[in-house]
Amino acid sequence: MTVARLFAVLALACLACALAHPGLAQDGAGANTAAPEALAGPALLAALREGGYVLYLRHTSTDFGQSDAPTSDYANCATQRNLTDAGRAEARAIAAALQSLRIPIGTALASPWCRTMETGRLAFGAATPSLAVRGGPARPDQPDRYAELRALLGTPVARGTNVAIASHGNPFRAVAGPPHLAEGETAVVEPLGEGRFRIVARIPKDGWAGLQR
């Protein structure tokens, strides 16, 4: 194989990898970047124990037989889609995993909807409601709707702790690109400053134990 052909093959392989993992590494505008910093298993666990990351958790399992009514009363859970009993158990399991794996959590924020607040309290022990991480789809008439979320994800976090966010799938997709996070899935975000960030890992709701292997 000639050198030129070898480089062509390598380039195609890199392109295929990028297409297969479009959400693994993002800048603050949602554009894909190279992902040499992607982490998994014990290396990811060691990094999380050291701290400096944002853990963005999409709320755990909900009852899709319910729907959200237009409201500004976020405390009225009767007008919202809420966690199921399975979703509550999933959030508690994440809390147990964070404790057993000795992953430090400092500030914990949550979208003010009931399902995200409950997820935050169960998974992180406490959660402060924040409109900056509120849900809802992106809208053409609000191009800066998620500017505060992008800024949060890009703000460096002190070593020795991690920031946790319990929120929704739509806001994260709007700032980080596809694919959507599944319910109960966590994106591990490395802040790069000035609204820029990199997704270094995605942990499914039942994937925490795998960090030790």
pLDDT in tens, 163-175: 999 999 999 999 9
Q: How confident is the model at residue 37 (pLDDT cuts 50, 70, 90)?
A: low
Residue 69 pLDDT > 90, yes or no?
Answer: no
Domain spans of the chain?
24-212
What pTM was estimated for this model as a whole?
0.81
Fold adopted by 24-212 = Rossmann fold (3.40.50)
In the structure encoding, which two tokens stand for residue 120, read together? 């935050």
DSSP 31: -
CA distance 127 to 39: 26
- Cα angle vertex 208, ends 21, 180, to 5°? 35
pLDDT tens for 86-110 read 999 999 999 999 999 999 999 999 9
Q: List the one residue out of 135, 130, 156, 153 whose CA is nearest residue 29.
A: 153
pLDDT higher for 17 or 206?
Answer: 206
CB crowding 138-172: b at 16 or more within 10 Å, else e:
eeeeeeebbeebbbbbbeebeeebbbbbbbbbbbb
Flag whether pLDDT at 199 surpasses 90. Answer: yes
Q: What are the beta bridge partners of residue 129?
A: 110
> What per-residue confidence (pLDDT) applies to 4?
43
